[in-house]
Structure 1
């Protein structure tokens, strides 16, 4: 009889845990009974997820000195990072990062790297697709066995390709569409992809393999948009225009969707041809019922309604979109920041006194005009006030705003409460630095509801830029004055 207890299983590292797939994979691994270590460049972002029974670490693949501690003792490492949002140089950055990670994994004695790449057609020319393939090649150049799962369109709340489809259908009743919407792909449900990622780690024969992952359908983007529209009760008219180049298309998507332009550019660049998948090998190795595209969309919408989406509010948490699935998942943003000698304590004192009789520190007449506009639309923004002139609690009302997040001397998030075609929030972030400096950042987030929500946002952008620049300056000046006054009072006569 074996009298020795079984050794503790080695933790699974999810590298890139703050990203879309990572945010969903971490809780899925926990549900599957795996010990999980979640890693991202910012530990604070991971802490905001409130994951239970998950070890959190901070590391950056572009800072190789941070990787050894993150990989220490790890058995399987999921590599889920990419640099699409970094702009034009993302391909080179991806390869450098993959090289650093492969070397550190070898030093740490990692048994397997599981990499999520993208489906790549033989005639691929876009940097986005070639970068995903080159990243896998660079990981395989190391000594740790790599399992690469290649997927195309992922159907789930927060997936960039899925959110582009949702935004286009919700925003545009009539659409001048580029010819790439006829390109076909093999969409896969988020739940199916997560199941594959978890269970390939259990199979020795997947070490060193490159496996396509796909659902049962092979559809054009136009077909996906039309099917999505049928599910949500919208029927966009689509007219294909061959003159829209990939570059123009990416700027157009940046205007009419909330997906960042840098990501839209990378996505569009890969849509010049069909992207088929040969997933027979993966289906045989890891059998599971596969959802078709229509069922995948329904599952994604149900997951949102059941609050089963891993997201921070600014990334589409359902309650912060007023429980509306026609409000965009991602947010349009505008804001400003200022550096000050005031302490976080002084800044917090001023920030949390906002509204009510104090006002908004800058251009109060514009705030009053907006409140009148809300009243004329049947809202209640003219009913100003707050529970306490200086103290705040979660759920407090400040005029037409509601306190939704409160971290003393660091973060205040107010949910927008006026009538408008969309949902939004105003966030104050206080960041201390060395040498007695502090940064105050104010950001407005807006999740538009269709074309009217987009029009509303663009109409108010100039006012936002003017107001927030003035607000940050006024708040920092008041905090500095507060500290000077307190210091003067403390000096004995």
Structure 2
């Protein structure tokens, strides 16, 4: 396996392991895969694809090779570098007696191609022309969280309810779900027939890029997007526009934009002769987007933001994905040492809300409750079931208890009216023998209004959350909390806990308020 540190490779390795294969990963530095969850289950060979001697050692005893190397960055010589690496690697495969090379390329029609698509086509042909049988799978846009092309679609759709767009939004393409891509790749390790050809692979839907943005908006619960194509934006200008609107780097956006100028529709489905379609058929765009998105239904949302480092499916983000992958999530995280026992701190945490208040500004609390009721929300009417104890499913003012780990963690999910999803997490920690109070608020915005909401309330976070941090610590230090303290202990607006993925900084006292994309 080459490219094991990349988007496809990082997801393909565990699929191959699950299928019973022994896997050796070839990387330039072993540190690139050290933090992968499967790192201890594979062999790692350090080699540069342009160094024949190193590649020879890496391929010793190998049966099937997956070649997933491709330069996506800028620079004038990327095509020459790709050509040199593929030529060197193909020759090494011949010397090693490899049974099959599997290469994932790009789907594009014959004719004028973008420089990056031309390079990928050339690399595929190098392997097809070698003495080792090769299978070249040609895919268009891959739909899965972490895929650069999907992340570009996600951010453009979420952040722009009205957009003037280049003409490439009218180009037809045939996207494919990451699960189907991996299914094809894994299957070719076991196909016994000798095959040396390319195959087009795509999902069941053929759409324009504008169509895909509309499908994404519908699945994500956004209002219908108004898309106005204009003929003025060149690929260079388009990539800078994408870089401005989204966190996808302009250097990466350019090859993606350039490829969108070419129609990418499958011309055949011959791959099904060797790898039959699954019983339920290939995954359509709508279902692929659902799998790639953070679920917004109550039953599915529970710990999605907090468990991103332990993906459960190929369409989930991996910890090694780029920092901008996975959508926009905002975080306010703080921590403070407390001169009290963990039990004393937990008593304060578990009794929070209701008559105990939120240990911040009472007037802000009441105003936020009134604002929520004014737009049809629950406001402050519910209080809490028990002044001292909480269980999963309890209501606490306009929060819902999502998780309780006695003595350690209380996680609340907001049920006030918000343009997104919000959580408030309170932790009792121990560090070097000291008790530490950890507090973080997380927000997953929905559409442009969600981003505007976050930035409108974030200036108040130091006042609200900083005061809450200090007062919770002080309450623990002064003894067990009374079930009905004076209202002067106050309450900050939980709506300002609006924020979603990432972890608090460590230390005696720390605070960070930042977007995590």
What is the TM-score when the length of structure 1 is the normalising length?
A: 0.64
**Structure 1 residues 296-445: aligned runs within 5 Å:** 296-301=288-293, 305=304, 307-308=311-312, 309=316, 311-312=318-319, 315=322, 321=329, 373-375=459-461, 378-380=464-466, 383=469
Q: Which residue of structure 1 aligns with residue 478 of structure 2?
A: none
Q: Which residue of structure 2 aligns with residue 269 of structure 1?
A: 258
Q: Distance in 1 between matches of 2:171 and 2:6?
A: 26
Q: Distance in 2 between matches of 1:30 and 1:310?
A: 19
Between the two proteins, the alignment pairs up a number of residues equal to 348
Q: Is the 8 A contact 1:187 1:217 kept in 2?
A: yes
Q: 1:63 to 1:105 in 2, by over 3 A?
A: same
Q: Is the 8 A contact 1:227 1:294 kept in 2?
A: yes
Q: Which residue of structure 2 aligns with residue 137 of structure 1?
A: 125
Q: 1:186 to 1:424 in 2, by over 3 A?
A: same
| Deviations 1:381-425 (CA, angstroms, capped at 9, x unpaired) | 88589x9xxxxxxxxxxxxxxxxxxxxxxxxxxxxxx97866567
- Is 1:71 the counterpart of 2:59 in the alignment? yes
Q: 1:34 to 1:313 in 2, by over 3 A?
A: closer
Q: 1:299 to 1:422 in 2, by over 3 A?
A: closer
Q: Is the 8 A contact 1:180 1:272 kept in 2?
A: yes
- Is 1:223 the counterpart of 2:223 in the alignment? no
Q: Distance in 1 between matches of 2:76 and 2:252?
A: 10
Q: Distance in 2 between matches of 1:191 and 1:255?
A: 30
Which residue, 22, 32, 39 being the options, matches 1:35? 22
Q: State the Cα distance separating 1:55 from its structure 2 match.
A: 1.6
Larger Rg belongs to? 2
Q: Which runs of 5+ in 1 are unaligned?
A: 1-13, 328-351, 357-371, 388-417, 429-443, 449-493
Q: Which residue of structure 2 aligns with residue 162 of structure 1?
A: 150
Q: State the Cα distance separating 1:150 from its structure 2 match.
A: 0.5
Q: Distance in 2 between matches of 1:174 and 1:44?
A: 43
Q: Distance in 2 between matches of 1:30 and 1:133?
A: 29
Q: State the Cα distance separating 1:272 from its structure 2 match.
A: 1.7
Q: Distance in 2 between matches of 1:310 and 1:99?
A: 33
| Deviations 1:260-306 (CA, angstroms, capped at 9, x unpaired) | 21221111112223221124211232112201111111122369948
Q: Which residue of structure 2 aligns with residue 483 of structure 1?
A: none
Q: Is the 8 A contact 1:155 1:162 kept in 2?
A: yes
Q: Which residue of structure 1 aligns with residue 286 of structure 2?
A: 294
Q: Which residue of structure 2 aligns with residue 243 of structure 1?
A: 232
Q: State the Cα distance separating 1:24 from its structure 2 match.
A: 0.7
Q: Is the 8 A contact 1:313 1:320 kept in 2?
A: no
Q: Distance in 1 between matches of 2:467 and 2:211?
A: 43
| Deviations 1:182-205 (CA, angstroms, capped at 9, x unpaired) | 111111111111111111232244
Q: Is the 8 A contact 1:200 1:206 kept in 2?
A: no
| Deviations 1:110-131 (CA, angstroms, capped at 9, x unpaired) | 1111000111211233111111
| Deviations 1:65-117 (CA, angstroms, capped at 9, x unpaired) | 32122111100000001011243432221111101111122222211110001
- Is 1:258 the counterpart of 2:253 in the alignment? no
Q: Which runs of 5+ in 2 are unaligned?
A: 296-300, 332-412, 414-418, 422-431, 437-457, 474-495, 507-512
* Paired residue secondary structure (1:148): strand
Q: Which residue of structure 1 aligns with residue 516 of structure 2?
A: 447
Q: Distance in 2 between matches of 1:114 and 1:284?
A: 17
Q: Distance in 2 between matches of 1:262 and 1:141?
A: 31
| Deviations 1:365-396 (CA, angstroms, capped at 9, x unpaired) | xxxxxxx94545622288589x9xxxxxxxxx
Q: Is the 8 A contact 1:126 1:269 kept in 2?
A: yes
Q: Is the 8 A contact 1:183 1:272 kept in 2?
A: yes
Q: Is the 8 A contact 1:23 1:310 kept in 2?
A: no
Q: Which residue of structure 1 aligns with residue 8 of structure 2?
A: 21
Q: Distance in 2 between matches of 1:224 and 1:88?
A: 32
Q: Which residue of structure 2 aligns with residue 397 of structure 1?
A: none
Q: Is the 8 A contact 1:24 1:310 kept in 2?
A: no
Q: Is the 8 A contact 2:154 2:327 kept in 1?
A: no
* Paired residue secondary structure (1:44): helix
Q: 1:425 to 1:269 in 2, by over 3 A?
A: farther
Q: State the Cα distance separating 1:315 from its structure 2 match.
A: 2.7
What is the TM-score when the length of structure 2 is the normalising length?
A: 0.61
Q: Is the 8 A contact 1:117 1:136 kept in 2?
A: yes
Aligned-CA RMSD value: 3.4
